[in-house]
Amino acid sequence: MILIKLGGSVITDKTQYRIFNRERVRRLCAEIRDSGADSVIVHGAGSFGHVIAKEYSLQKGSVDPAQVPAVARVQYDVRELNLMVIDELLNAGIPAVSVPPGSCFMMDNGNLLLDDPEVLLSASRLGIMPVMFGDVVFDRSKGFGICSGDQIMEVLCELYHPDKVVFVSDVDGLFEKDPKTNPDSKLLTEVTSELLNCISSDSSVADVTGGVRAKMEAMLRMTSSERDCVLINGSVEGRLCSLLKGERVISTTAKGGL
């Protein structure tokens, strides 16, 4: 099985509130179908979550009553995004169901806790793809917190023990610096914990889930001697399908653990 994260930068325009990239998502869903890979999908919240979460500092937990309507709004928005992704998966012939993180997860001081995996495992056993997403989840210590798609990926990696983990972003892989602002930045085809200090953690857009460094660390935690964790560019047509078929593509592979 392959665990796939469709990043918010791929499925939305993260610089504008609630802009869904339907055509790209439609193509990516078709590529997943055409690859024939057994897969589970997580997607980011993109501009459906990050804009309001940033404005109201939801990543800090409950510190101001003015945040409460924002929590409700973000939960509404990311569910709407999720249903649009589900719609494209169904149109591609992939039986997929929405599994909101709050139906399975609690948080405690920012740590994601899987209280009951039965919903996820039951869907998978029936051949139905559970689709989870970045969201605001209730937190035992902080009231609520941001549950990132990357955090969900780590938990699902422990649950499903996938053969491969794939992060789909809008860049060719991990670079020494942000390639959007540094066009001469070098692509790193492999990344290890030793290389982390050589890579800029700057981001070109506001990201309340930790940015580039957090993603690199999450990728490394998901590697093992039997499992690769790969970051590819979903903006390039056919690249995801080729990777899922086992072909070599432009990408970055995390190796060696953290």
Question: pLDDT of the chain along its 258 residues, tens only?
Answer: 999 999 999 999 988 999 999 999 999 999 999 999 999 999 999 999 999 999 999 999 999 999 999 999 999 999 999 999 999 999 999 999 999 999 999 999 999 999 889 999 999 999 999 999 999 999 999 999 999 999 999 999 999 999 999 999 998 988 877 777 888 888 889 988 887 766 655 555 455 555 666 777 889 999 988 898 999 999 999 999 999 999 999 999 998 777
Distance in angstroms (rounded) separating the CA atoms of residues 68 and 228: 40
At 24 the pLDDT is 98
Q: What pLDDT is attached to residue 43?
A: 98
Residue 114, classed as helix, strand or coil, is strand
Give the pLDDT of residue 164.
Answer: 95
User: Is there a contact between 185 and 252 (Cβ–Cβ < 8 Å)?
Assistant: no
The topology (CATH level 3) of 2-254 is Carbamate kinase (3.40.1160)
Identify the CA nearest to 202 among candidates 179, 177, 182, 168: 177
Contact, 141 vs 108, CB < 8 A?
A: yes
177 three-state secondary structure = coil
What are the residue boundaries of the structural domains of the chain, listed by start?
Answer: 2-254
pTM here? 0.92
Query: What is the reported pLDDT for 85?
Result: 98
Q: What distance in Å separates the CA atoms of residue 193 and residue 168, rounded to the nearest whole number?
A: 21
**DSSP per-residue string spanning 67-107:** HHHHHHHHHHHHHHHHHHHHHHHHHTT--EEE--GGGTEEE
| Whole-number Å distance between alpha carbons of 205 and 32 | 27
Q: Return the closest-CA partner of residue 215 out of 203, 224, 227, 205.
A: 203
What is the number of other CB atoms lying within 10 angstroms of the CB of residue 194? 8
